[in-house]
């Protein structure tokens, strides 16, 4: 290993605040330095979270979307997808069932679908919280400050809104009709409302390079994110980016590991997309700095329809089988499923504990 790379990993263990140039350097390990990078990220993860892995059950309640992101199979102009929407009672029932099989956090996720008014979603959140003891993350895209405020008041604890890329030019190319500034505004609003904020990016996007990836990692730090979702870009033939190659597991793991070095206290999922590219992808992620897994809790008949990218794993599994399987995966690498809500350590420090039954 190069002495400079070894020094940089030692600095990470000592809590260094890296510059962009240093992050670029960390993102370019030589072959014989990769294991040391992953092991360092894993040591930092262990020092913060111990051997516990947090599970977040994902409820994909609508695959309608009014946006046209170039990489996404849910985009409005994709006619090769069967659309569905769940009614409020169904969402509440699925949420309650997920809690009954052991989930303490749920992510209510959809495309940007204005069918679900803020009032309707507030009602769903309240009904879930009245019925079961669970932390709720929303992943429903861009809304106004007042909407976010009402949803928080109704009991939403966390919000996931990935930036996908922090590079303005690339963001503009990938998101027709959307504004970089508004995306940032959403994240700042959510922080100001004391949500735990989840952001993130994709690795292997066309026109991306090591410099833009380093900027993403610094961006996560500047945003003071509580959770960072990092997944590979997976090319979907039903989108305008269908002719581009997918990202790789190796590249994604490097970004994941360096993100842990730069953002020691964040919750980092080993994503389903990583598991879709490699049958051991999630295990590899968990051993390269990740501490969260996000299994699907939807009934089987809906799972295949939420097709952001092709070849998604676990689309034929029943939720209880998925839950069992994921616990086996976690135990197989010597880790345990956490029985808590999995708050971010930053959030706990801010005194932002999950507000139950609100
Ligand atoms: S990435 Fe999100 S906002 Fe964009 S098309 Fe897909 S579901 Fe819609």
> Binding residue per annotation — 139?
yes
With a 6 Å cutoff on the Cβ, whether 231 touches ligand 1 is: no
| Residue located nearest, by CA, to atom 3 of ligand 1 | 67
Residue 351: the pLDDT is: 63
What is the percentage of the chain residues whose pLDDT exceeds 90? 87
Q: Region 104-118: what's the mean pLDDT?
A: 98
Residue 320: the pLDDT is: 85
Q: Region 321-343: what's the mean pLDDT?
A: 92
pLDDT band at 315 (very low <50, low <70, confident <90, very high): confident
Q: Is residue 356 over pLDDT 80?
A: no
> Binding residue per annotation — 194?
no
Residue 120: the pLDDT is: 98
Identify whether the C-beta of residue 34 lies closer than 8 Å to the C-beta of residue 320. Answer: no
Whole-number Å distance, alpha carbon 238 to ligand 1 midpoint, is 14
Nearest by Cα to 344 from 171, 238, 225, 221: 225
> Binding residue per annotation — 322?
no
Q: Region 201-222: what's the mean pLDDT?
A: 98
Whole-number Å distance, alpha carbon 185 to ligand 1 midpoint, is 18
| Residue located nearest, by CA, to atom 7 of ligand 1 | 111
What is the percentage of the chain residues whose pLDDT exceeds 70? 97
Q: Region 226-252: what's the mean pLDDT?
A: 97
Q: Region 305-313: what's the mean pLDDT?
A: 81
Residue 217: the pLDDT is: 98
Query: Using CA atoms, how far apart are residues 43 and 51, in angstroms rounded to an integer?
Result: 11
Whole-number Å distance, alpha carbon 81 to ligand 1 midpoint, is 14
Q: Region 89-111: what's the mean pLDDT?
A: 97
Q: Tokens in use for 185? A: 């505004």
pLDDT (tens digit per residue) in 212-224: 999 999 999 999 9
Whole-number Å distance, alpha carbon 252 to ligand 1 midpoint, is 21
Query: Using CA atoms, how far apart are residues 160 and 152, in angstroms rounded to an integer?
Result: 13
| Residue located nearest, by CA, to atom 4 of ligand 1 | 69
What is the 3 state secondary structure string of the chain?
CCHHHHHHHHHHHCCCCCCHHHHHHHCCCCHHHHHHHHHHHHHHHHHHHCCEEEECEEEEEECCCCCCCCCCCCCCCCCCCCCCECCHHHHHHHHHHHHHCCCCEEEEEECCCCCCCHHHHHHHHHHHHHHCCCEEEEECCCCCHHHHHHHHHHCCCEEECCCECCCHHHHHHHCCCCCHHHHHHHHHHHHHCCCEEEEEEEECCCCCCHHHHHHHHHHHHHCCCCEEEEEECCCCCCCCCCCCCCCCHHHHHHHHHHHHHHCCCCECECCHHHHHHCCCHHHHHHCCCCCEECCECCCHHHHCCCCCCCCCCCCCCCHHHHHHHHHHHHHHCCCEECCCCCCCHHHHHCCCCCCCCC
Q: Is residue 355 over pLDDT 50?
A: no
With a 6 Å cutoff on the Cβ, whether 107 touches ligand 1 is: no
With a 6 Å cutoff on the Cβ, whether 69 touches ligand 1 is: yes
| Best residue for ligand 1 mutational test, from 69, 161, 238 (most atoms within 8 Å of Cβ) | 69
Identify whether the C-beta of residue 132 lies closer than 8 Å to the C-beta of residue 83. Answer: no
pLDDT (tens digit per residue) in 162-173: 999 999 999 999
> Binding residue per annotation — 355?
no
Which ligand 1 atom is the nearest neighbour of the CA of 66?
8
Identify whether the C-beta of residue 111 lies closer than 8 Å to the C-beta of residue 141. Answer: yes
Residue 116: the pLDDT is: 98
With a 6 Å cutoff on the Cβ, whether 112 touches ligand 1 is: yes
Burial class (CB in 10 A: 0-12, 13-18, 19+), 218: middle
Q: Region 198-208: what's the mean pLDDT?
A: 97
| Best residue for ligand 1 mutational test, from 58, 63, 64, 72 (most atoms within 8 Å of Cβ) | 72
Residue 287: the pLDDT is: 98
With a 6 Å cutoff on the Cβ, whether 75 touches ligand 1 is: yes
Which position has the higher pLDDT, 35 or 310? Answer: 35
Q: Is residue 358 over pLDDT 50?
A: no
> Binding residue per annotation — 69?
yes
Which position has the higher pLDDT, 57 or 351? Answer: 57
Residue 353: the pLDDT is: 55
Fold of 18-342: TIM Barrel (3.20.20)
> Binding residue per annotation — 325?
no
Domain positions in the chain: 18-342
Which ligand 1 atom is the nearest neighbour of the CA of 63?
7
Whole-number Å distance, alpha carbon 313 to ligand 1 midpoint, is 19
pLDDT band at 357 (very low <50, low <70, confident <90, very high): very low
Lowest mean pLDDT of 5-9, 144-148, 303-307, name the range.
303-307
Q: Region 338-353: what's the mean pLDDT?
A: 78
């Amino acid at each position: 290993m190069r002495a400079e790379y070894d020094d940089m990993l030692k600095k990470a263990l000592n809590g260094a605040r890296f510059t962009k140039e240093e992050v670029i350097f960390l993102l370019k390990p030589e072959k014989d330095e990769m294991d040391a990078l992953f092991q360092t990220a894993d040591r930092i993860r262990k020092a913060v979270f111990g051997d516990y892995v947090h599970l977040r059950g994902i409820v994909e309640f609508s695959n309608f979307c009014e946006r046209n992101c170039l990489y996404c199979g849910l985009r409005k102009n994709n006619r090769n997808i069967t659309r569905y929407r769940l009614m409020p009672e169904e969402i509440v029932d699925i949420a309650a069932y997920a809690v009954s099989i052991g989930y303490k956090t749920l992510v209510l996720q959809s495309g940007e679908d204005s069918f679900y008014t803020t009032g309707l979603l507030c009602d769903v959140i309240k009904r879930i919280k009245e019925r079961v003891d669970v932390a709720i993350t929303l992943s429903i895209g861009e809304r106004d400050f007042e909407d976010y405020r009402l949803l928080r008041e109704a009991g939403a604890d966390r919000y996931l809104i990935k930036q996908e890329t922090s590079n303005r030019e690339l963001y503009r190319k990938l998101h027709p009709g959307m504004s970089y500034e508004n995306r940032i505004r959403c994240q700042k609003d959510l922080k100001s409302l004391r949500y735990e904020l989840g952001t993130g990016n994709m690795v292997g996007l066309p026109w991306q390079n090591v410099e833009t990836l380093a900027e993403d990692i610094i961006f996560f730090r500047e945003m003071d994110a509580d959770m960072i979702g990092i997944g590979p870009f997976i090319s979907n033939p039903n989108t305008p980016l269908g002719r581009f190659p997918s990202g790789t597991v190796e590249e994604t793991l490097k970004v994941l590991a360096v993100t842990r070095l730069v953002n020691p206290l964040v919750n980092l999922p080993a994503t389903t997309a990583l598991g879709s590219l490699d049958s051991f992808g999630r295990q590899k992620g968990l051993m390269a700095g990740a501490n969260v897994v996000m299994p699907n809790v939807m009934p089987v008949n809906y799972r295949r329809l939420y097709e952001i990218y092709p070849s998604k794993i676990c689309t034929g599994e029943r939720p209880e089988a998925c839950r069992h399987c994921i616990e086996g995966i976690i135990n197989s690498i010597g880790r345990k499923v956490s029985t808590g809500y999995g708050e971010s350590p930053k959030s706990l420090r801010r005194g932002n504990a999950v507000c139950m039954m609100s």
